[in-house]
């Protein structure tokens, strides 16, 4: 007998069943990951809500500027505010890979760090389109974040 004997009692492979099983396993892993992320954010709801309030307050300072010198002053202060916001995001998720809100935080902080103040200045010069677009993007992220936090709050503790 050779080294490559065939086991006559083995069941034949079913490649389609294998693909279905693999798809089911991947779906299970995705559900587990989502549950883990929901739990992570649920345990940090208070921190998330506080950070979102600070982001909104920073935006309100920009929107509150009524003159070009005022927006220039606000823009000069934005890098320090943005650095604090980034620090707070890092405190919520030090590894930067778990919270479902990270992409939204990044988008909002990026807006505040760059385009938002410039868009406000343009609006004060009579060109409101850029600010309207920035506000729309900002509001979309805030709405999505609120939905994610609601899902986290409603999720069941599994760990």
Q: What is the pLDDT of residues 24-75, one digit of tens each?
A: 777 766 678 788 899 999 999 999 999 999 999 999 999 999 999 999 999 9
For helices 129-154 and 15-42, give the axis angle rounded to 10 degrees: 100
The pLDDT, as a whole number, for residue 47 is 97
> What pTM does this model have?
0.81
- Residues sharing a CB contact under 8 Å with residue 152, sequence separation 6 or more, in sequence order: 38, 39, 41, 42, 45, 100
The pLDDT, as a whole number, for residue 142 is 98
The pLDDT, as a whole number, for residue 6 is 63
Q: Longest C-alpha distance within the chain, in Å?
A: 92
Residue that has been written with the tokens 């492979």 in this structure: 13
Least confidently predicted of 14-23, 34-43, 94-103: 14-23
Average pLDDT score over the chain: 90
The answer to whether residue 129 scores a pLDDT higher than 60 is yes
The answer to whether residue 131 scores a pLDDT higher than 80 is yes
The pLDDT, as a whole number, for residue 23 is 75
Structure tokens that stand for 147 in this block: 């939905």
The pLDDT, as a whole number, for residue 7 is 66
For helices 115-124 and 129-154, give the axis angle rounded to 10 degrees: 140
Spatial contact of 74 and 68, defined as CB atoms under 8 Å apart: no
Over range 88-108, report the average pLDDT. 96
Q: What are phi and psi of 56, to 5 degrees?
A: -65, -40
Q: Where are the domains of the chain?
A: 15-154
């Amino acid at each position: 007998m050779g080294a490559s004997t065939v086991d006559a009692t083995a069941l034949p492979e079913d490649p389609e069943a294998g693909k279905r099983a693999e798809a089911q396993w991947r779906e299970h892993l995705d559900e587990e990951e989502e549950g883990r992320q929901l739990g992570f954010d649920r345990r940090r709801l208070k921190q998330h809500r506080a950070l979102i309030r600070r982001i909104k307050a920073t935006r309100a300072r920009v929107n509150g500027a009524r003159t070009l010198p005022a927006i220039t002053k606000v823009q000069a202060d934005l890098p320090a505010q943005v650095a604090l916001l980034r620090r707070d995001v890092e405190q919520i998720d030090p590894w930067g890979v778990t919270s479902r809100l990270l992409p939204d935080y990044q988008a909002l902080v990026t807006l505040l760090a760059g385009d938002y103040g410039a868009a406000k200045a343009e609006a004060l010069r009579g060109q409101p389109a850029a600010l309207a677009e920035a506000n729309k993007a900002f509001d979309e992220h805030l709405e999505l974040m609120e939905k994610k936090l609601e899902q986290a709050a409603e999720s069941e503790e599994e760990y």
